């Protein structure tokens, strides 16, 4: 069976606490790590968040994989881990 990628398949939800936000992107505290998510990697790039706000951001699946936020086999939900430690 062939799977056709939909818009929903392209994005995964990532949850964290906003550290800092600008038009360029958002720094989220996810578990014990701070991760920068560029605005052009989200489903809603124009949204600006308030520091301390708990948010869920839909990010491109490829970005979440690259940053270690989800498993590479797609079976894991966003874990909040990042190999970059940014």
**All structural domains of the chain:** 7-66 (2.40.50)
DSSP-based helix, strand, coil % in the chain, nearest 5: 15, 35, 50
> Measured between alpha carbons, how far is 11 from 75 in angstroms, rounded to an integer?
14
| pLDDT above 50: residue 86 | no
pTM, whole model, 2 decimals?
Answer: 0.70
pLDDT of 9 reads 77
| pLDDT above 90: residue 74 | no
pLDDT (tens digit per residue) in 13-35: 999 999 999 989 999 999 889 99
| Coil, helix or strand at residue 64 | helix
Sequence-separated (6 or more) residues with CB below 8 Å from residue 10: 60, 61
At residue 68, what are phi and psi to the nearest 5 degrees?
75, 20
């Amino acid at each position: 069976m062939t799977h056709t990628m939909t818009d929903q398949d392209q994005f995964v939800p990532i949850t964290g606490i906003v550290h800092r936000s600008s038009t360029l992107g958002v720094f989220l505290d996810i578990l014990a790590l701070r991760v920068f998510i560029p605005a052009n990697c989200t489903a809603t790039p124009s949204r600006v968040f308030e520091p301390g706000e708990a948010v869920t951001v839909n990010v491109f699946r490829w970005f979440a994989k690259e940053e270690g936020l989800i498993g590479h086999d797609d079976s894991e939900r966003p874990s909040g881990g990042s190999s970059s430690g940014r």
